[in-house]
Structure 1
Amino acid sequence: MKLNKEIKNRIDQYFDGIESEELYSIAFGKYGFIENIDFEIDNQSFDKVGQNFYCPNSDNSLDTNDMESLLLAA
């Protein structure tokens, strides 16, 4: 699914402003995610988690106000 710039910006702002604890609470409380804690982590090493960003090489957004830019199904 391709998003226009306005929707993408709104999604980015939402995730920029939410704390991990709040996102966890929403995922499990509101959307019914199931927490699986049945695994053993003793005596295991872990790598540090880094932050990755998706940066597209081109702008694939659509102008929904311009009918010529929209793909039409037959």
Structure 2
Amino acid sequence: MQGMGEAGETCPFEFNFDPATFKVGDTVSYRVTGSLDGFPFAGTLLEVHEDHVIIAGDPNDPSVRYTGTRESRPVVDHAQI
């Protein structure tokens, strides 16, 4: 997300990029496979498991939840979107 705004503008999010310290409520930058590959997305962790995380996909709709990999920038399969 760096460099996407105007000069001197900082990102409004504070991300956790350390999967070893992920906890519920953390904001993460996640990626989506397929046609959305390369676009950055931001979401809040709802659940943290040993091998995956559950990400809130829409802050206005709590039913939108994505399962992502547990890595510095979780990967969500495009089929979930």
What TM-score do the two structures reach when normalised by structure 1? 0.18
Choose between structure 1 and 2: higher strand proportion.
Answer: 2
What TM-score do the two structures reach when normalised by structure 2? 0.18
Q: Larger relative contact order (C-alpha < 8 A, sep ≥ 6)?
A: 1
If you compute each CA radius of gyration, which structure gives the higher value, 1 or 2? 1
